[in-house]
Structure 1
Amino acid sequence: MAPFTSEAVDTSGVPTYFGSFPVKTSNCEALPTIRDALRLTIQRCTVPGSKERKKAEYRHTNPTGHLFGLCLPMVEKNRLKYAVQLVELLCIVDDVMEDLPFGEACIEHAVLRQALYEKYDKDQYAGLAVGGLKSFLRELRVELLCQKDPNNAALLRTLDVSLHKRDSVDVEFENLETYIPYRKTNFDYDFVCKLIRWSSTIPLELAEEEEKTARKYEHSIGVIVGLTNDYFSWEMEHRQPTDRIRNAIAVLMKEHGSLSDKQAKSTLKDVIVDEEQKAWRLKSEIDANEFFSTDLKKYVLALQLFAAGYSFWCATSPRYGPFFSSDQDQS
């Protein structure tokens, strides 16, 4: 199959978007598929009237464009449903876990991972908070593996590793350098990269030299999306009742001591802008190299569009405000 039709997004009227990457969206043609996949995922993975249900529904009220249309404009039509369901499931997992003490969150992640193994299919233990998520993920696993595509199994293995690692570190980071690897892990970034490849029919592993180049570009994009999320979510996150704040602004305040959160936010913006320039330079080198494959160049473009769409969504999301005013407090 082919991707949905996408079109460029005019970002000039959005002062909160400071990214330099061009933004595209497939919202117009892909929206019915996205909405159907979301409706099923939210209904199955959250309880009516619960905090998680309200947050999931509110997450997708951005009037400038839908999260998945903005982030995944190159996804194949027959794989968009699965990409939406898997990412939304992880977003709901994050909403559930952030309110749990660290030790309980680790246990709940372990319970959820059982859904990825056939040997646990008769185990009906639902944990304290992940029952609906577990049964939904189990059904997704069965559906994907029934397609007999070895790439599907590889994708699910990456998801298992991501769930194992995503909230497994209970430390206070002393500087941005040590925080960034954690931020990428907590963002499920390795899985997101594999999902972008899988859903865009790009090989999950490229030739050795191309894979090294791809990983280098992945790193820059991971820094950009992880820190951009921290930049826009700070006002929401630092008010949350939790035993762990995982945000680069808090890390920078601790690293530099005398910085206010406003100053730290400005510093973080500079870091993101610098990383974008690195990514631009590397992409230009890749595009100009006639010996690099079409698959690598396609993947680099897909990652750039992912970062652009996600950054634009964060910059305009009512969840993070204040670009759009809202009477709802969904923090």
Structure 2
Amino acid sequence: MPYNSVPVDTSHLPLCFSRMPVRIHRDKEEIQRFTLELVNNTKEEGSKAHKHALYRHAVTGPDMNVYALSWCEADLEKMKLLIEFIELIWAHDDVTEEDPLEDAISECEQLRRAMYEEYDNEPVADNQFGLRIKRFRDIRNRMKAIDSVGWVEIQDTMEEWLPIDKLLKNWDNLEEYLDLRKVHVGNNVMTSFIRWAMGIHLTKDELTFIQPYTDAVGIWLGLMNDFMSWKRERTQPTDRIMNSVYLLMNQYKLPEDASIDMVRGILIKQEGKVLEQSKVLHETPGLSTGLRAYIDNLEYYAGATFYWSLLAPRYAKPQSFDVDN
């Protein structure tokens, strides 16, 4: 039974809104305050990075902090440390999206090495990226001190996710694309955050058992992100567009509107698969308390991500962040 969260009223949203439950942390105001304070204290006012972060956390109502939504059952103090960690990753991802591919891969490798103490003696650049590496090491140590078992799981999922750009290419079909997209969207990383923030420790057998459901959620979230972010990405200068709308336009020579409609249909079908698997899991006897709590919070995470992506200005009203603008 949830104890740190309350339901979010979604009755004002279109009837086609997701059937996934949406909840938010009871301390949502404190979490939003902490988030904005962190952004303002770690980024130069008026810089492109500062504008990116403020726009990412712009809210359209009282229930819109992405962290309070995504990890609605998290311990508050763990949540704050998690926000520090994710803000660094998100800032890195925003920057590398605009870098040439080879530069993005190089910086991801440096960030990956910062997860391990044996590389701490390596020199870092005297710039903003070097500062991020130093902060990353400090946050790593604090997270590991709180829960070393959970940290190793985060470390493993980050190891899978950080070098993902090496695997990007021109895709031959949607199935092949989605097999990587579920990783590219960061689903395994984000769900490991659920376990760390709630102190849930699953056995290897339990993690293997739940992985097909986690993958189904990841594919759904990847499609959802593609659909929601296409308005923002369609004019974005990049050499590695990662979006199923773009893929289907090229694969089937579709006009843009037809491809968007096709992705919407595939997204709805995938949600049905997620809900079917969820029903089966909830009816499965003999599951541990930790696994049942994790299943519930996978649903909350998925529903929250859809809710936030539907309403967040980041996707609803994309804009340029040139420093001179």
Answer whether TM exceeds 0.5 for this pair.
yes
Q: State the SS of the aligned residue for 1:167.
A: helix
Asked if 1 retains the 8 angstrom alpha-carbon contact of 2:183 and 2:218, the reply is no
Asked if 2 retains the 8 angstrom alpha-carbon contact of 1:233 and 1:320, the reply is yes
Letter in 2 for 1:250: Y
Residues 15-56 of structure 1 deviation map (CA, whole Å, 9 limit, x = unaligned): 396211121112x52331453255336643x44322222111
Quick one: distance in 1 between partners of 2:207 and 2:113?
Answer: 31
**Aligned residue number for residue 87 of structure 1:** 86
Asked if 2 retains the 8 angstrom alpha-carbon contact of 1:206 and 1:296, the reply is no
Residues 209-230 of structure 1 deviation map (CA, whole Å, 9 limit, x = unaligned): x434311110111011111111
Are positions 1:169 and 2:164 aligned together? no
**Aligned residue number for residue 267 of structure 1:** 262
User: Which one is further off, 309-318 or 122-131?
Assistant: 122-131
Quick one: distance in 2 between partners of 1:16 and 1:104?
Answer: 43
Letter in 1 for 2:50: R
Residues 235-275 of structure 1 deviation map (CA, whole Å, 9 limit, x = unaligned): 11111111111111001112222x22211111111111111
Asked if 1 retains the 8 angstrom alpha-carbon contact of 2:124 and 2:133, the reply is no
Q: CA deviation at 1:114?
A: 2.7
Quick one: distance in 2 between partners of 1:329 and 1:269?
Answer: 26
**Aligned residue number for residue 56 of structure 1:** 53
Task: State TM-score, norm by structure 1.
Answer: 0.88
Q: State the SS of the aligned residue for 1:7.
A: strand
**Aligned residue number for residue 132 of structure 2:** 133
**Aligned residue number for residue 302 of structure 2:** 307
Identity %: 28
Residues 74-109 of structure 1 deviation map (CA, whole Å, 9 limit, x = unaligned): 212332112222222222111010110111111111
Quick one: distance in 2 between partners of 1:149 and 1:111?
Answer: 22
User: Which one is further off, 144-153 or 64-73?
Assistant: 144-153
Q: State the SS of the aligned residue for 1:241.
A: coil
**Aligned residue number for residue 288 of structure 1:** 283
Residues 165-213 of structure 1 deviation map (CA, whole Å, 9 limit, x = unaligned): 232224111221111122222222221121111212222x4362x4343
Quick one: distance in 2 between partners of 1:86 and 1:264?
Answer: 36
Quick one: distance in 2 between partners of 1:265 and 1:176?
Answer: 14
Q: State the SS of the aligned residue for 2:167.
A: coil
Counterpart pick for 2:248 among 252, 255, 259: 252
Letter in 2 for 1:30: K
Q: How does 1:214-229 map to 2 (within 5 A)?
A: 214-229=210-225
Residues 91-134 of structure 1 deviation map (CA, whole Å, 9 limit, x = unaligned): 21110101101111111111222322223323332287622321
Quick one: distance in 1 between partners of 2:267 and 2:209?
Answer: 20
User: Which one is further off, 35-44 or 299-308?
Assistant: 35-44
Please list every run of at least 4 consecutive aligned residues from structure 1 whose deviation after the TM superposition is greater than 4 angstroms: 328-331
Q: Which runs of 5+ in 1 are unaligned?
A: none
Asked if 1 retains the 8 angstrom alpha-carbon contact of 2:114 and 2:137, the reply is yes
User: Which one is further off, 110-119 or 127-136?
Assistant: 127-136
Residues 124 and 207 of structure 1, relative CA distance in 2, 3 Å threshold: closer
Letter in 1 for 2:227: Y
Q: CA deviation at 1:329?
A: 4.3
Q: CA deviation at 1:310?
A: 0.5
Residues 160 and 129 of structure 1, relative CA distance in 2, 3 Å threshold: farther
Are positions 1:317 and 2:301 aligned together? no
Asked if 1 retains the 8 angstrom alpha-carbon contact of 2:227 and 2:263, the reply is yes
Q: How does 1:98-113 map to 2 (within 5 A)?
A: 98-113=97-112
Q: State the SS of the aligned residue for 1:25.
A: strand
Q: How does 1:193-212 map to 2 (within 5 A)?
A: 193-203=191-201, 205-206=202-203, 208=205, 210-212=206-208
Q: State the SS of the aligned residue for 2:316.
A: coil
Residues 36 and 127 of structure 1, relative CA distance in 2, 3 Å threshold: same
Residues 279-307 of structure 1 deviation map (CA, whole Å, 9 limit, x = unaligned): 11111111112222222221111111101
Q: Which runs of 5+ in 2 are unaligned?
A: none
Quick one: distance in 2 between partners of 1:129 and 1:166?
Answer: 23
Quick one: distance in 1 between partners of 2:313 and 2:127?
Answer: 30
Q: Give the count of matched residue pairs.
A: 320
Quick one: distance in 2 between partners of 1:112 and 1:90?
Answer: 9
User: Which one is further off, 298-307 or 117-126?
Assistant: 117-126
Task: State TM-score, norm by structure 2.
Answer: 0.89
